[in-house]
Structures are given as C-alpha cells and as structure tokens.
Amino acid sequence: MSSRLRRSLVLTTLLALVLVVSGAAAPPPGPVGNPTNTKVAGIDVDATTIPELQELMDSHRMSSVRLTNFYLRRIRQLNPTLNTVITVSPTALADARAADRARRNGDDRPLLGVPIIVKDNINTTGMPTTAGSWALAGSTPDDAFIAEQLKAAGAIIIGKANLSEWANFRSFPSSSGWSGIGGQTNMPYVLDRNPCGSSSGSGVVAAADLAVAAVGTETDGSIVCPSGANGVVGIKPTLGLWSRAGVVPISADQDTAGPMARNVTDAAVLLGAATGVDPDDGATAAQAGNAFTDYTQFLDDEALDGARIGVWRAGTYNPSLVGPVVEPILDDVIDALESEGATVIDGTDIDLSATAGEFPALLCEFKTDIATYLQTYVDGTNPVTGQPYPQTLAELIEFNEDHPELEGPWNNLVFELAEATNGRDEDCAEIRAGVTPPVQRAIDELMATHDLDAIVALTNGPAWPTNDDPDEGDLDGHFEYFVGSSSAAAVSGYADITVPAGYVEGLPMGITFIGGRWSEPELLGFAYDYEQATQVRVPPQFIPTIGDDLFPGAPNPTDQAQAQRQATQIKRARVVRFR
C-alpha cells in the first residue's frame, strides 16, 4: 500500500471516529419515573403523526397549549436523566396560545402549533446558540433561515437540543453526545449506551417524545447515526435543499440540517417546511425545479414495487467480527424489500467506501468557515467569562485552554489540526476537488451500471456503552465493531434517509436508503413503503443497563495470548490514526 493511500485511509478512519463515535465522562444514568406514558387527552402522541395531530387540533380534541404543556412537563421529568435539552424557550406557551388563536381564525399551515426542538448549533431568536460550548454561552443571534421557514409553517420551537460539542469536530478522543454546557446525552433505550452524534440530543428528543420532532445537522453521519441508534427516521437532504446560513459550521461543502422524527410522515412534513431559496446561501439557488414544500405527496406504500435496490456491504462493517450480529438485520431488510416487490441486487461490486481525502478537506474548510460564522453572528461579551466572544479558531482553542473547568476533559486535537492549515486556499480547494466529484461519479456510475433506483446499507450497529474515561473514549480499542455508511452521501452532497430496521438486545439499528442528487421524493417513497410494511419501531423503555459488552454477540478474547494480540493491534491502530 502506498504511503499516500495509507494516509488517506488513516484520515478517513479518524474522521469517522471524530464525527460519529467516542466516549464521555458522566455519572451512570438513573431510572426515570413512568417515562413510557405518552398519552395526551387519551391520545398516544408517540404513535400519532403530524397530519393526524393537525386533524385532532382542527376538531378541538387537542390544542397546541395542551400539547406544548405535555412536552414541557416531559422535558422537566426526563432531562435530568437524559441530558437532552440545553435550553427551553421562554415563549413556548405564549407561542402555543397564539397558534391556537390562529387555528380558530382559519389558519391551516402544515406545522401550526406543532412543538419541535432544534439542535443547539442552529440560530434561534430569543434562545442562545452555543454549539454546546461555553465559548458561545449567551450568544443569541437571530433566527437562521431554516428556523424562520419552520416558524413560517407554524412550528413552535420549544427548545434547543444537546449535541456533541462543536459537532464532534474539536477533540480526539471525544464524546458523542457530550458538550460542556449540556453534559453527556444518554440514549433512552438503554441509558448507559451512547446515542451517537453529533445530533445526539435531536435523536433522543424524537425517540423519547420530548417534542413532536427534531432538527439535527450533519457533516458526515451526524443525522443518520443518532437517528439509527435511537430508533427514529432521519433525513440528510441534498446539499442546498436546506439553507446552511445561521448554522454553526464544520464545512459548507458538506454541512446540512435535516429532520429527525419517529416516522417517515413527520420527517417529510418537516423536510418540505424548511425548503426555500436563501439569498445568504448560494447553494439553495439550485432548488429551482428540484425542491418541494410538500413532500408528503411522495409517501407511497407501493413505491418499492418494481424498484431496483442495491445492497452495499463492503466497508460498512467488519464481516468477521460484526457480521454474525448485524447481517440477520440486513437479511430481514432484504426480505422486506423483496416482499414489497423490489428487485434486490446484492453483489460485491456495490461498494461506495472510497472517500479518501475527506478529513483533510474538512480541516482547512473548518478553519475558514467557523471564523466566518463567528464574525457574522457572534458579537459582544460572554456573560460567563466577561470577555469578548472568540472570533477565530485560534481564539476558540485559547478559550478551551483557559477554561478547562468548563471545557474539559477533552483535548483540542482536531481544532489544532485545522488551525495548522491555511484555511480555504488553493490547496484546500484542490483537496476538495479530489474528494467530492469522484464520490459523486462513483454513486452515479454504480446506479447507472446496475440500473438502480436506490442503494441500501446498514446505518449503524448496536449502541456502545458510554465510557467515562476521557483518555479512551467510547470506542477506544473497539472501533473494529463500528457500523456506518454515511460518508458516501455526506461527501457527495446527495440525499439519504434512515429508517428503523431492527433491534439487537433491545438496541435499535437502522437501514439507510441512498440516492442521487435531489432524490428525496423517490427515497421518501421507498422509506415509507418499507416503514409501513415492517412497522419495526417500538418506543424506548429507558432500561438502565444491559451489561458491559461493547458489542452484543461479538466474539471476545478467550485467552491471554489472544487478548495480548488484540491489545497490540489496538496500540498500533491508535498510533496510525494520527500520522
């Protein structure tokens, strides 16, 4: 293997670990009181879609005030255990009362009076936007374009969700779901397991019924992984379908926000509500002829009949270690697709695992893009420190070093690697040119060669235990058990959707449908058909623990010699990652 290829593979591995996996220091979560009761006025809101809620409110069997009160009480009840919501809107009930008045006056907007929670890296008027970091404590820029769009559709943003701080692009090791302000988010199916990231809080919000639905953001895996791990639906839209303006960035070349919800219907409602051409985001201009304000028109329970679906396995999991645990889920998915009339192409040549160069591109892009965000949206004085807010990446690093009591226990390795670049210069542009176009071509050619309508792959594996050792992180020594397929859609800027697919020892797993650019209508149809045919999702039970095994069913060392060999391999891999 050439040194250049080896370096690319190493950086890709580091990227996957940084963006969607790792561990955190946190006390063991405790039990919660009666968390499975999700009925309001005799209606189980966990099993009710947004269109059904609208019908209930139209017929006066439900009100936005009653619904909002339910979620606010539930946040107070569960948040001490889940650490999922950073901020609650001080105007939530007033907004709900206004929505009920508007409904009485004939307002029929698609999200009227519907409480949602957005990730705390999306600007929202009247609530701080912190990316989980004390460096931005108290920063309150006006609504991002997508927040404006959701509100224009009638949504009530009742709070901000915890996240992996700086979208998990600060340190290595790190913690999926940990932020300085919010602490460690815990997943609701098994409380000591990790919710994946970086939209950890948004995934838990949707799964645990802390709002009707949530909004997350993704650079690579940060919508689909926490959606899969928490048993909900997540959509990573085509780049440009949702505006990126007013969202704390990693890179404008890959970042996008997207909906996270308990069912495909609700995700489709949110998806359409936030589209629109934003003059502050040039990528949204390409929506003309490609975007819709109503994606529920594409929810077809016969969409899979006659479709050709490819199965991507290579590079998404280790077949010898992980295969015996996850492949039965994938086999069930294939059976369901075929039962719905799809032709499934499952071959070794369906492989989208080559995304070399992604991490170096993100490093140089982040240095410029984070400074642009800070200088555009963040000004004044931090109320916690009494100092001016940071305006550059170097100043963020300085803040973390000056405030270890707030920003510990993690290091600044990824920040420092990004700071060592020149930002968005010609070299950076050349790196990106060698990353995104080849992956786009690979997807386009693969789908054309096999005449595919979509590609499916496992979204995630069973959630790993959250590790309280800041020197290791959650997957230290166990990254070979990681399951993920997010990079192809993330790097290409194409769409993908994850839907619940099954459970391993009670831990959710998802299946991702991947398509081409602007393929949301087709993917929503396939995802909806699959969801309706399988009805996989069950609500979380908030079990404290199922034991300490990192990967249920995975082989463990059985003798000292095997254990020593594994330890040696781990040490070597740990060194290689940083070269």
| Active-site entry in 119, 151, 160, 367 | 119
Distance between CA atoms of residues 388 and 375, nearest Å: 12
Query: Would residue 406 count as lying in a domain?
Result: no
- Residue 141 neighbours by CB under 8 Å, 6+ apart: 123, 129, 246, 377, 378
Distance between CA atoms of residues 564 and 475, nearest Å: 18
Query: Would residue 246 count as lying in a domain?
Result: yes
> Is 119 a catalytic site residue?
yes
Quickly state the pLDDT bin for 17 (edges 50, 70, 90).
very low
Which residue is associated with the tokens 């859609």? 489
Q: Per residue in 268-311, pLDDT tens? A: 999 999 999 999 999 999 999 999 999 999 999 999 999 999 99
Query: Would residue 542 count as lying in a domain?
Result: no
315: Cα within 13 Å, side-chain hemisphere: 18
Query: Would residue 223 count as lying in a domain?
Result: yes
Q: Is the dihedral of CA 386, 388, 389, 390 positive or negative?
A: negative
pLDDT score, position 70: 97
| Active-site entry in 222, 227, 251, 486 | 222
pLDDT score, position 355: 87
Q: Beta 156-161 vs 115-119: how paired, if at all? A: parallel
Q: What is the CATH number of the domain that holds 270?
A: 3.90.1300.10
Q: Measuring CA to CA, which residue among 200, 192, 193 is closest to residue 176?
A: 200
Number of domains comprising the chain: 1
Q: What is the pTM of this model?
A: 0.91
| Helix 426-433 vs helix 436-449: crossing angle, to nearest 10 | 10
Give φ, ψ of 116 to 5 degrees: -130, 165
- Average pLDDT on 246-260 reads 98
> Is 222 a catalytic site residue?
yes
Query: Would residue 256 count as lying in a domain?
Result: yes
Query: Would residue 225 count as lying in a domain?
Result: yes
pLDDT score, position 436: 98
Tokens (6 digits) for 413: 């390795």
Given a cut of 80, whether residue 19 has pLDDT beyond it is: no
Domain with 345 in it: 3-354+434-534
pLDDT score, position 364: 98
Distance between CA atoms of residues 211 and 50, nearest Å: 11
pLDDT score, position 408: 84
Indicate the range of 15-19, 59-63, 373-377 predicted with least confidence: 15-19
Q: Per residue in 513-548, pLDDT tens? A: 999 999 999 999 999 999 999 999 999 999 999 987
Distance between CA atoms of residues 372 and 6, nearest Å: 33
Q: Per residue in 343-354, pLDDT tens? A: 999 988 999 998
Q: Per residue in 95-138, pLDDT tens? A: 999 999 999 999 999 999 999 999 999 999 999 999 999 999 99
Query: Would residue 553 count as lying in a domain?
Result: no
Q: Per residue in 359-399, pLDDT tens? A: 999 999 999 999 999 999 999 999 999 999 999 999 999 99
- Residue 148 neighbours by CB under 8 Å, 6+ apart: none
| Active-site entry in 174, 198, 200, 243 | 198
Amino acid in the structure at residue 493: G
Given a cut of 90, whether residue 432 has pLDDT beyond it is: yes
> Is 492 a catalytic site residue?
no
